[in-house]
Amino acid sequence: MIRGGLNCLLKLALVGVWLPIAARADGARGIPQHLGDTGLYVAGSLSQVNSDVLPFSPQYPLWSDGAAKRRWIWLPPGTSIDASRPDAWEFPIGTRLWKEFAHGRALETRYLERAADGNWRFGSYVWNADGSDAVLAPAAGLRDLPAPLSMTRESRDSPGERYTIPSENDCRACHEGAPVAVLGFSALQLSPDRDPLAPHAERLAGSVDLRQLAARGLLRNLPQEFLTHPPRIAAANPAERAALGYLHGNCGNCHNDEGPLAVLDMTLAQRVAAPAPGAVLRSIVGVQSQFVPAGAPADAARIAPGHLAASVIAARMSSRDPLEQMPPLGTAAVDREALALVARWIEGLPVHSSSN
Amino acid sequence: MQSLKMLVRIAFVVAASFARAAEPPAPAPNHGQSEGVTRGKYLVDTSGCHDCHTPFKMTETGPARDMERMLSGHPEQLELPPAPPANGPWLVSMAGTGTAFAGPWGTSFAANLTGDKDTGLGKWTSRTFIDTIRTGRHLGRGREILPPMPIPVYKNFTDQDLTAIFAYLQSIPAVKNKVPVPRPPVAAAAAANTAAGS
């Protein structure tokens, strides 16, 4: 009963009740109230992207319940990215990034802007049904929006068939777990040596890669070897390369050895600068999991070589129980293609392999 | 009948502890501890942290807090059967230790807040602690922290207060106690398993 009433309220909100409220209330967040004012599109248009806004396509994208995604970046004229730390690029003040999520039609466009004080500002713009406007969502996000039909077809196991706009805190949970807040725009993600087995890695037309960025003068201090030998994950076989890449793109934002979750002694983030060979594998293969799902043995491993059912990482990837699922936010549907890839990799690991 | 008496005693003790929290507390004496630790102890003692994170034990004079397990959360040795179903207006159950709770969210167990490196907060930093309380997510970015943890109240602490609380928690005796992971509500667990297996 309560849930029904809540859903009804949210449906009312969707048809426009909340829009003027949000437009008035969120001015303190320091970003425009309408997507049309963020500089993504030509003035007066909500479809024609500005010519100085560059599309890009990470090779290991984040799974978002099957949403089709488009991404863009804009750098202020005359500025460039300092790539002297290849795993933590320094973006100039004023940098803007956008990511559009669509299921049949655009639903939301997330926005990231580096403010004058050096901090990053986060927002998400919610599209109306006819695509004539996209308005900044409340900082608390929006839960349980009715999912569009195309989404329910693609993600039939999505509990409640809902669509969620993340809160600003949820944005920060992922984006501030890594050394730099910009995710998916890095030397490895933009490497022209793209992984052919990476799931959901459709490339947006005209996307810039590492070499093109360097040629345009948008990267400075990039070590020359990254252009002659583009970054590539070292792996025993193609399935391992793609599986590690998927874990990098979907988990490494939080599970790395520099951010707040370094206390877990588990890194899924790949390094391209002075990589420690096998660092990721050593932290997961044959290593006892601190979290033990219900019904699993107390000594269950993060990755149990050759034994999918005993691998906690795979178990948590395949769960959408909110107490157990990984990632813990931003998804309500299991990524079956990725799960199959990770399963293939785990089952192919030699049983004697472990961290020690 | 005996268990009813015990519940009544526990309820009395819990109610008394909340009542004490409402009174103006005397500042804790400073025994050479840093100002932050002293402030942290004061905040922990007056904000109800012991109510859930220090287990009760039965003594000859009735239930009392087990201070040898101070702030170490639900005792790992105490394995609990499935919680009774939540029916009608009575939706929440509490274990006699005061450290495990069942409701529409599932079953939650109070965390080990001591500085034990393997089972407590020994590897955390003050940033981890602040992020956790601010976001209401485990480690600041994981699953949501469950009731009855009063995140909506505690997230209003200042960074300075949260830093002080963390400093105090790191200063108390570390207790090795691996608290169980939370259990989902029965209906949700069945739905998740069905989805994962489809």
Judge if A145 and A67 occupy the same domain.
yes
Closest CA to B193 of A335, A153, A159, A313: A159
Nearest to B195 among A159, A169, A322 (CB): A159
What share of chain A in percent tops pLDDT 90?
74
Strands A54-55 and A105-114: unpaired
What share of chain A in percent tops pLDDT 70?
87
Closest CA to A77 of A55, A46, A54: A54
Nearest to B184 among A254, A318, A323 (CB): A323
Is residue B134 predicted with pLDDT exceeding 50?
yes
pLDDT value for A296 = 82
Q: Which residues of A touch B189 (CB under 8 A)?
A: 294, 321
Q: Report d(CA A280, CA A244) in Å as an integer.
A: 8
What share of chain B in percent tops pLDDT 90?
70
Interchain CB distance below 8 Å, B195 and A334: yes
Q: What is the DSSP string of B38-71?
A: HHHHHHHHHTTHHHHHS-EEEETTEEEE-GGGTT
Judge if A159 and A11 occupy the same domain.
yes
Q: Report d(CA A200, CA A221) in Å as an integer.
A: 31
Judge if A29 and A161 occupy the same domain.
yes
A309-320 confidence digits (pLDDT tens): 999 999 999 999
Interchain CB distance below 8 Å, B192 and A319: yes
Which of A167, A189, A222 terminates a domain? The answer is: A167
pLDDT value for A117 = 96
Would you place residue B190 in the very low, low, confident or very high pLDDT band (cuts 50, 70, 90)? low
pLDDT value for B24 = 39
A39-91 confidence digits (pLDDT tens): 999 999 999 999 999 999 999 999 999 999 999 999 999 999 999 999 999 99
pLDDT value for A151 = 58
Give Cα separations from A167 to A27, A164, A173, B120, B159 (angstroms): 16, 9, 10, 28, 21
Query: What is the rounded average pLDDT for all residues in chain A?
Result: 88
**CB distance from B137 to chain A under 8 Å?**
yes
Q: Is residue B111 part of a domain?
A: yes
Is residue B51 predicted with pLDDT exceeding 80?
yes
Closest CA to A160 of A316, A333, A319: A333
Contacts with B49 (C-beta within 8 Å, 6 or more apart), sequence order? B71, B113
Between A186 and B24, the more confident residue is: A186
pLDDT value for B176 = 98
Would you place residue B35 in the very low, low, confident or very high pLDDT band (cuts 50, 70, 90)? confident
Q: Report d(CA A224, CA A227) in Å as an integer.
A: 6
Would you place residue A99 in the very low, low, confident or very high pLDDT band (cuts 50, 70, 90)? very high
pLDDT value for A1 = 37
Instruction: Report the DSSP beta bridge partners of residue A96.
Output: A74, A113
Quick one: closest CA in A to B134, which residue?
Answer: A169
Q: Which residues of A touch B117 (CB under 8 A)?
A: none
Work out the average pLDDT over B72-77: 97
Q: Is residue B196 part of a domain?
A: no
Is residue B191 predicted with pLDDT exceeding 60?
no
pLDDT value for A277 = 76
B93-119 confidence digits (pLDDT tens): 999 999 999 999 999 999 999 999 999
Give Cα separations from A348 to A146, A315, A335, A351, B75 (angstroms): 40, 17, 20, 9, 39
A61-74 confidence digits (pLDDT tens): 999 999 999 999 99
ipTM of the complex: 0.78
Work out the average pLDDT over A327-356: 88
Between B14 and B80, the more confident residue is: B80
Q: Is residue A188 part of a domain?
A: no
Nearest to A319 among B106, B131, B196 (CB): B196
Judge if A148 and A276 occupy the same domain.
no
Q: Is residue A22 part of a domain?
A: yes
Between B106 and A17, the more confident residue is: B106
Is residue B151 predicted with pLDDT exceeding 80?
yes
pLDDT value for A72 = 98
Closest CA to B104 of B81, B128, B88: B88
Q: What share of chain A is helix, strand, coil (3-state, %, to 5)?
A: 30, 15, 55
For the entire predicted model, the pTM comes to 0.83
Interchain CB distance below 8 Å, B143 and A323: yes
Q: Domain range for residue A283? A: 233-348
Domain count, chain B: 1
Give Cα separations from A186 to A52, A204, A272, A324, B24 (angstroms): 19, 16, 10, 29, 54
pLDDT value for A145 = 79
Q: Show the tokens assigned to A236.
A: 């025993």
Work out the average pLDDT over B50-63: 96
Is residue A113 predicted with pLDDT exceeding 70?
yes
Contacts with A75 (C-beta within 8 Å, 6 or more apart), sequence order? A81, A91, A92, A94, A95, A218
Q: Domain range for residue B45? A: 2-76+90-184
Closest CA to B54 of B68, B38, B37, B42: B68
Q: Is residue A148 part of a domain?
A: yes
Q: Which residues of B touch A292 (CB under 8 A)?
A: 181
Helices (H), chain B: 2-22, 35-46, 49-53, 126-135, 151-154, 159-171, 186-197
Q: Is residue A180 part of a domain?
A: no
Judge if A247 and A162 occupy the same domain.
no
pLDDT value for A295 = 77
pLDDT value for B88 = 78
Q: Report d(CA B53, CA B97) in Å as an integer.
A: 10
Q: Is residue A293 part of a domain?
A: yes
A242-298 confidence digits (pLDDT tens): 999 999 999 999 999 998 899 899 999 999 987 777 899 999 999 999 888 877 888
Contact B154, B133 (CB under 8 A): yes
Give Cα separations from B192 to A159, A250, B187 (angstroms): 8, 21, 9
**CB distance from B89 to chain A under 8 Å?**
no
Q: Is residue A47 part of a domain?
A: yes
Q: Hey, how many other C-beta atoms are within 10 angstroms of the C-beta on A157? A: 18
Would you place residue A161 in the very low, low, confident or very high pLDDT band (cuts 50, 70, 90)? low
pLDDT value for B189 = 53
Interchain CB distance below 8 Å, B135 and A173: yes
Instruction: Report the DSSP beta bridge partners of residue B93.
Output: B102
pLDDT value for A352 = 74
Contact A243, A285 (CB under 8 A): no
Is residue A13 predicted with pLDDT exceeding 80?
no
Q: Is residue B198 part of a domain?
A: no
Domain count, chain A: 2
